[in-house]
Structure 1
Amino acid sequence: MSEAVRTTCPYCGVGCGVLASVDADGTTRVAGDPAHASNLGRLCVKGSALGDTVGPEGRLLHPVLRGQDGVAQRATWDEAIQRVADGFSRIVAEHGPDAVAFYVSGQLLTEDYYVVNKLAKGYLGTANIDTNSRLCMSSAVAGHKRAFGEDVVPGCYEDLEQAELVVLVGSNTAWCHPVLFQRVTAAREGRDGPRVVVIDPRFTATCEGADLHLPIRPGTDVRLFNGLLSFLFRHGVIDPDFIDAHTAGFDQALAAAEAESGDPAMVARQCGLQTADVVAFYRLFARHEKVVTLFSQGVNQSTSGTDKVNAIINCHLATARIGRPGMGPFSITGQPNAMGGREVGGLSNMLAAHLELGEPAHRDIVQAFWQSPHIAGTPGLKAVELFDAVGEGRIKALWIMATNPAVSLPDADKVRAALARCELVVCSDIVERTDTNAYAHVLLPALGWGEKDGTVTSSERRISRQRPFLPAPGEARADWRAVCEVAKRMGFERGFEFAHPHEIFVEHAQLTAFRNREPLADGVPAARRQLQLGPLAKLDRRAYDALAPVQWPVTEQGAGTPRLFADGRFSHADGRARFVTTASRAPAHAADREYPLVLNTGRIRDQWHTMTRTARSPRLNNHIGEPFVDMHPHDALRSGVREGSLARVVSRWGSMVARVRHGGGILAGTVFAPIHWSDQFASDARVGGVVNPAVDPVSGEPEFKHTPVRVEPFPVRWYGFALARRPLPASMLSYWTLIRGDRFLRYELAHRERPAEIEAWAKAWLGVTDDQADWLAFEDLDTGVYRAVHLREGRIESCLFLAAQPHLPSRQWLASLFARDRLDEADRLALLSGEAPGGGGDPGPVVCSCFGVGRNTILEVIRRNELDLPAQITAELRAGGNCGSCIPELRRLIAETRAASEA
């Protein structure tokens, strides 16, 4: 086994340290890095399964060019780079620099981000470069800049443990940022651990064990926090000295809050809450000085997202609960390098080094440092409007890096149409087949996690290294290198001579220090900003390779800074923070008779973005393997659908098909669907095709949490599933979902018509052409049940189960048969009967993905041993003993068992 390499997880913004090594057989092993301050050795289930995701299957291994006839052919790097450079050069010459654009990603390393931003804004002279981070945290960016004068998160993760009260707003932290949630949970086990309040329309895993859950009506967060500001003022909890010395705009913000939210009972009615719960929350906030308010996509992804952020920050400024241990507003980002991208100007309205594109003096600073021929003069197009411009023909060349907008953007069918019309689409990716790559004229193979070399910045401003421990597969290259080569071919020889990411990082660090806090002639600071990496510009190659995680701003001694604003000085020119007047307003589109339900979207525990990585891991597919729409039972009844059946979710912009479920945590009038499935993994489950494209007027972030929809039956004649060792032609079915298992592929399927000759159809679909094949089949004409199994030399090759209803045998038991070299007679009989031998052996749906422990197994041990704590389950089954992501579900199973026994 190779020596372990210290690197950083490529998933969420927590920025966990990882120890990665490679066995002699090529197997990648990962473990949490106990020396990394972000996670202290912990990893969530996705991080623990990173080794499952780094194989060569499905990788884009060489450049590909697609001609006018649509035929894709392998090309050399020289041919591909020349095609991109010629295309961009021609379009700029004929139509100007704003006819080209870049759409990048929080999956890029800071060094990649820096170079492409430099090319766009400083050399081509266009600000049309935006990022998929626009979709998850741009409202937080805008709120930070309005309040603080700069996009900064003032606190650190230790504050979550040192707080007396942690308020989680719009964040299913237990599933989306599990390591942070486990840090809070561990702190709560101590005598002085924090109280926890969760503000979320859904009852999620995060709500399990919380002291208070406020199931707020979607879109009313501003009213709730304006009410809190009014309550704090009326009860004398504000800090007048801090407000007078360090802020501006308090009176106006308070007056607006008092006018609309001065009465807690009225706030409760508007927010759909109980008055007693609202008052309980307000009192908890008032009584505990050390309060951290952690917020995420549930706040940001809204047409009033920026106001929501500022309404939260207003409460912390009014009480001076910022800049000190255990307190402050805390934006937790969704991607590993959303923060790093913000540092280098990855958003279309920003310049590198936290400088403002709309400020002439800031543009002069960046252009002087780069010595570039141009500098973008006005902010560019934000993500949604950028793709609108592509569709309208105003943008004629688009380079997409490390993201899948044909799935992830709202009104995604419109995005697809735009890509189909674009003169030149370039995609840099590690995966060959994605919904977006299907539209590319040029495909460039990029490096993936384990191969990339550079830095990322976590949600607490901690810069960490991603280090390579695997060789580059095929002809894959770093994104920064591809950008530099295109820049040189376009005639920009100077400015892109980088030979190693160390050189890019040093230049980035130098720019953060350039004219930072130096006075102009009139004595006004040129650009006072907290982002300061100047001391890191002194790193040589060896020191860069050995760089330990560090939080900016970096001191002259090279040390990090855990908290900002302790001195009460902010980044506005006068040093004062700003209270921002906020007013509650309704979402852009209201539910109506045609679309009576409100769709909320989000993530599930074990998948990531559009599943190009996580879907490769069998253990990550075991928890939730199929797209679903979670509904209140009353709404399902009114919509004419039942739990377990298929339904179509329809909006004004598109539709999707998913399985109906009743998760128990959804408010009547709302539905929830996860964001992850694309055309690579399901027949018709792209939530982006349904989501409305309305955006926040300040941040440009879309309204992913509030789309009016209706749910209607998706009628089929039969349901089924198949397990096979090789891919099957699922496209011929009315509905299908692909789930990767261990040694097999699983297909959940349904069809509108039942084949007349079911056995002939089954053999053809499973690819059984040998008349002498070992084929077992059972059919019940009365119930519509059909089962078939294909074996070769006693080993199962594939199996198919069909029925008129969605209630079918356990997939977990059948999956276990694919690990056997030979099936015995009892297994054969059990396959035809549809039940495990002896009626047992079914572990049930997986709850703990780390150790593959199923629901039935857990329930049995709870009942048998009368367990009442998750730790007791861990002692018996190991479930919950690794990443801890399943602990909330273990608590729920304990509660359900106890309730059943007392009934």
Structure 2
Amino acid sequence: MRCAVGCGHVHRGVDIGVGVDVARGDPAHPTNEGLACGRGIRESTDPEGEWLTRPMVRRGDELVPTTWDVALGEAINGLRRAAEDDPDAVAVLGSGQQTNEAAYALGKLARGALGTRNYGANTTLCMASAVAAYYDAFGSDAPPPTYDDVPDAETHLVWGANPAVAHPVMFRWIHDSAGDDDSELIVVDPVETKTAGAADHHVAPDPGTDLALARAVLARLVADDGVDRAFVDAHTEGFDDLLAVLPDAADAAAEAGVDLADVDLLCSALDAPTLLYWGMGVNQHVQGTDTASALVDLCLASGNLGPGSGPFSLTGQANSMGTRVCSSKGTWPGHRDFDDPTARRDVASAWGVPVDRLPDDPGPGPVGMLDSVGDEVEAIYAVATNPAAGMPDATAVREALDEAFLVVQDAFSTETTELADVVLPAATWGESEGTTTNMERTISRVRRVTDPPSGVRTDLDLIATVGEALEPGLFPSKAPAAVFEEFAALTRGTLADCSGISYERLDEEHAVRWPAPDASSHAGYRYYDADADPSTGDERWSFPTPSGRARFSAATFEGVAEPVSESYPLTLTTAREGDGYNTGVRSRSTDPDPATVRVHPESAPVGDGEAVEIESRRGAITATLAVDAAVPEGVAWLPIHHPATNVLTTKQRDPTGEPNFKQCAVRLEPVEVEERVREEVPA
């Protein structure tokens, strides 16, 4: 698995040695039915990254190979010393690149063995805003629709996402459905992306102004009598509060930098059954939750909730959804609330630890955790994540990582392993057993097709070993099936009930969507009962909110995080490239070429292919300029995977902790010829 679409692959191991020789789509898997993308195949059989094959410890300025006993001993002792007086002195960072079992175990270690508040995952950097929006609207996390709804939608509205690049298999379904005579594809994105190029219509707001545009559309729906009053009155609350603060459509459109004709186009599209997809362009903003909520509001107001319609956030990492359900990061397993004392008692009882050890809030998130290094945090355990490249204001992040006692567990060499005090080499996909959960709540098995290289251990094995040393008896088994069974039992009766899912069932059915409270249940569209008969008093809609109704939000646009100025006249935005995910450790060398910055011809200070310095208020990098009219004037575009990009980005973030990756102010200057020659000539 390479992204959250959750395609099933069939792998064949090499004949001699270790590794994956052949990978292809699995025709028997119900998600993709044999389809596969080039990146998913290539990263399985021929990843570009530098594999880690030996545990290492720091001796002076160098990382040196060592034995597992020495590496694990130093890691365990360092974490134990830091937590001795204050459990919050240890920060734990997880990832959407772990199996469900490893994610569950890491949460058990962080919350149960250590008792630290300072636990999070890189999934917060991309999906926390969407998660909060779902909770605010529906009382529970995850999109209501599923992939089954894609063929039935007539309008496919893709907002702040580029699935043609990031989710190619899913985009094929979207594009096929949009190609029907009564259907269309509309893209909202400042940049003319590959997805926008395939669309029937492209609306291009200014970067960071999506909330203003969403409110303009809703205001126009209200003015043009486009609101589904029957649905709103029967199944929602808070609409009048929203109307009281709703801006004028023309004013909001002007804030977003679009014409009213574009607003009317979007209003008209919502008349038909609409799936509204969104991605990082919406989430990664200081008002990410507000913006995602405003898109949900559009679905509620237009009656676009139900089969063939609804809000559908596009998750990035392969197991981001699993991390949200399993890991005890933002909620206890099964989406149990942190501030629910009954949930804390149940979890403490299941783990056999004192209830007062478990934190009663989820903590500050990854950015806040690293901000507290040198004050509260003394040690960090990072698993399958690369914060030195993947977090905003990367120079400050690297300084914090360098100051802390740092244990890094990964399959590949990264900018973060270079700073580590202890490096634990871990197995990756094709070398591990377990399960994952895709963006539409479907759990699938992953199986080992090849042994890990000699000297490499699985994430689950390593986490359980460290956790058991910190809290003896906490991990009675390291077997993936036993860990999954323990996790699933903890979800029984919750909104994300997985207790009806087992390895045996997954072996039989390949994949099962939660909630699955028993061994025969198959979940579909959330909160909706297609068999209910309203004429007999049955409710077709039921939301897990106090009132049983879906809730509108009432936020309005407050401006971008970092406006341009005379000193920094360009807006930097970031996005994925076709061959990269996360920080690109599978698809690039450890010493990559300079980043390529895409700039409109009118904003380019040098010619195509020439070197340019990009500077923000936090730092500067050298990049190669690509003149590209697909990028709007006044905007610079950089790939989010490149390890230099986040030297520039701002730590400003949404209340959920999700950073504002998509917009900051920069300037571009030519790199003098003498400086380039000096950099290129070896000392």
- TM-score bucket (shorter structure): over 0.9
SS in 2 for 1:121: helix
1:191 is the counterpart of 2:173: no
1:569 is the counterpart of 2:537: no
Equivalent residue for 2:575, pick from 591, 594, 602? 602
1:361 & 1:314 partners in 2: Cα distance?
32
CA RMSD of aligned residues (A): 2.2
Could you report, residue by residue, the CA deviation over 1:165-219 in whole angstroms, capped at 9, with x for unpaired residues? 0110000111111111111222233334x31110000011111131211110112
Could you report, residue by residue, the CA deviation over 1:491-546 in whole angstroms, capped at 9, with x for unpaired residues? x2223011311111111111111xx2xxxxxxxxxxxx43111112xx3x655555
Q: Cα distance, 1:269 vs. partner?
A: 1.7
Equivalent residue for 1:254, pick from 212, 235, 243? 243
1:500 is the counterpart of 2:479: yes
Could you report, residue by residue, the CA deviation over 1:30-58 in whole angstroms, capped at 9, with x for unpaired residues? 11112223222221220131343369x83
Change in 2 beyond 3 A, CA 1:365/1:576: farther
Partner of 2:658: 701
2:479 & 2:280 partners in 1: Cα distance?
35
Could you report, residue by residue, the CA deviation over 1:723-770 in whole angstroms, capped at 9, with x for unpaired residues? xxxxxxxxxxx7xxxxxxxxxxxxxxx633887xxxxx9xxx9xxxxx
1:379 & 1:677 partners in 2: Cα distance?
30
1:452 is the counterpart of 2:432: yes
Partner of 1:332: 314
Percent of paired sites with the same residue: 34
Equivalent residue for 2:115, pick from 114, 125, 143? 125
Partner of 1:628: 596
2:680 & 2:279 partners in 1: Cα distance?
46
SS in 2 for 1:595: coil
Partner of 2:283: 300
User: In the alignment, residue 194 of structure 2 is paired with which amino acid?
Assistant: A
1:393 is the counterpart of 2:378: no
1:754 & 1:72 partners in 2: Cα distance?
27
SS in 2 for 1:228: helix
Equivalent residue for 1:280, pick from 247, 262, 265? 265
- Asked if the contact 1:123/1:375 (under 8 Å) is kept, the reply is no
1:353 is the counterpart of 2:310: no
Could you report, residue by residue, the CA deviation over 1:560-617 in whole angstroms, capped at 9, with x for unpaired residues? 2121011311122332221111111112221111111110011111222222212379
1:544 & 1:210 partners in 2: Cα distance?
37
SS in 1 for 2:134: helix
Partner of 2:156: 166
Higher relative contact order (CA 8 A, sep 6+): 2
SS in 2 for 1:614: coil
SS in 2 for 1:425: strand
Could you report, residue by residue, the CA deviation over 1:86-135 in whole angstroms, capped at 9, with x for unpaired residues? 222222223x1011110111111111110110121123211211111111
- Asked if the contact 1:358/1:379 (under 8 Å) is kept, the reply is no
- Asked if the contact 2:595/2:645 (under 8 Å) is kept, the reply is no
Equivalent residue for 1:228, pick from 204, 217, 222? 217
SS in 1 for 2:522: coil
1:175 & 1:488 partners in 2: Cα distance?
41
User: In the alignment, residue 707 of structure 1 is paired with which amino acid?
Assistant: C
Partner of 1:146: 136
Partner of 1:269: 254
Equivalent residue for 1:321, pick from 304, 308, 327? 304
- Asked if the contact 2:145/2:312 (under 8 Å) is kept, the reply is yes
Q: Cα distance, 1:25 vs. partner?
A: 5.6
Structure 1 regions of 5+ residues with no counterpart? 1-8, 517-528, 679-685, 718-733, 735-749, 756-760, 766-903
- Asked if the contact 1:555/1:561 (under 8 Å) is kept, the reply is no
SS in 2 for 1:420: helix
Change in 2 beyond 3 A, CA 1:51/1:357: closer
Could you report, residue by residue, the CA deviation over 1:269-310 in whole angstroms, capped at 9, with x for unpaired residues? 22111222221221121x21x100000000000001100010
User: In the alignment, residue 599 of structure 2 is paired with which amino acid?
Assistant: M
1:341 is the counterpart of 2:299: no
1:410 & 1:363 partners in 2: Cα distance?
32
Change in 2 beyond 3 A, CA 1:113/1:23: closer
1:159 & 1:626 partners in 2: Cα distance?
42
Partner of 2:512: 550
1:166 & 1:542 partners in 2: Cα distance?
37
Change in 2 beyond 3 A, CA 1:534/1:573: farther
- Asked if the contact 1:106/1:131 (under 8 Å) is kept, the reply is yes
SS in 2 for 1:712: strand
1:274 & 1:236 partners in 2: Cα distance?
20
1:79 & 1:575 partners in 2: Cα distance?
55
Equivalent residue for 1:675, pick from 616, 640, 655? 640
Partner of 1:486: 466
- TM-score normalized by structure 1? 0.71
2:27 & 2:222 partners in 1: Cα distance?
43
Map of 1:638-677 to 2, 5 A cutoff? 640-677=605-642
- Asked if the contact 2:442/2:511 (under 8 Å) is kept, the reply is yes
Partner of 1:59: 51
Could you report, residue by residue, the CA deviation over 1:127-151 in whole angstroms, capped at 9, with x for unpaired residues? 2111111111111011111111111
Q: Cα distance, 1:227 vs. partner?
A: 2.2
Could you report, residue by residue, the CA deviation over 1:338-389 in whole angstroms, capped at 9, with x for unpaired residues? 0000002453x42222112133333223223333222113331211111111
- Asked if the contact 2:30/2:510 (under 8 Å) is kept, the reply is no
1:222 & 1:608 partners in 2: Cα distance?
26
SS in 2 for 1:137: helix
Could you report, residue by residue, the CA deviation over 1:413-448 in whole angstroms, capped at 9, with x for unpaired residues? 0011111111x21000112x3211111111111011
Partner of 2:532: none
Equivalent residue for 1:22, pick from 2, 13, 19? 13
Partner of 1:428: 409
- Asked if the contact 2:157/2:185 (under 8 Å) is kept, the reply is yes
- Asked if the contact 1:131/1:346 (under 8 Å) is kept, the reply is no
SS in 1 for 2:500: helix
1:307 & 1:358 partners in 2: Cα distance?
23
Partner of 2:534: none
Change in 2 beyond 3 A, CA 1:176/1:346: farther
Partner of 1:404: 386
- Asked if the contact 1:229/1:254 (under 8 Å) is kept, the reply is no
User: In the alignment, residue 84 of structure 1 is paired with which amino acid?
Assistant: A
- Asked if the contact 2:99/2:435 (under 8 Å) is kept, the reply is yes
SS in 1 for 2:88: helix
- Asked if the contact 1:105/1:131 (under 8 Å) is kept, the reply is yes
SS in 2 for 1:352: coil
Partner of 1:212: 201
1:583 is the counterpart of 2:571: no
Change in 2 beyond 3 A, CA 1:601/1:553: same
1:159 & 1:90 partners in 2: Cα distance?
52
2:95 & 2:391 partners in 1: Cα distance?
13
SS in 1 for 2:628: coil
Q: Cα distance, 1:72 vs. partner?
A: 2.7
SS in 2 for 1:20: strand
1:20 & 1:337 partners in 2: Cα distance?
19
Larger radius of gyration: 1
- Asked if the contact 1:629/1:661 (under 8 Å) is kept, the reply is yes
User: In the alignment, residue 208 of structure 2 is paired with which amino acid?
Assistant: G
Between Structure 1 and Structure 2, how many residues are aligned?
667
Q: Cα distance, 1:626 vs. partner?
A: 6.0
Could you report, residue by residue, the CA deviation over 1:439-461 in whole angstroms, capped at 9, with x for unpaired residues? 11111110111101111111111
- Asked if the contact 1:104/1:130 (under 8 Å) is kept, the reply is yes
Structure 2 regions of 5+ residues with no counterpart? 529-539
Change in 2 beyond 3 A, CA 1:163/1:367: same
Change in 2 beyond 3 A, CA 1:416/1:754: closer
User: In the alignment, residue 494 of structure 1 is paired with which amino acid?
Assistant: G
Equivalent residue for 1:46, pick from 39, 50, 54? 39
- TM-score normalized by structure 2? 0.93
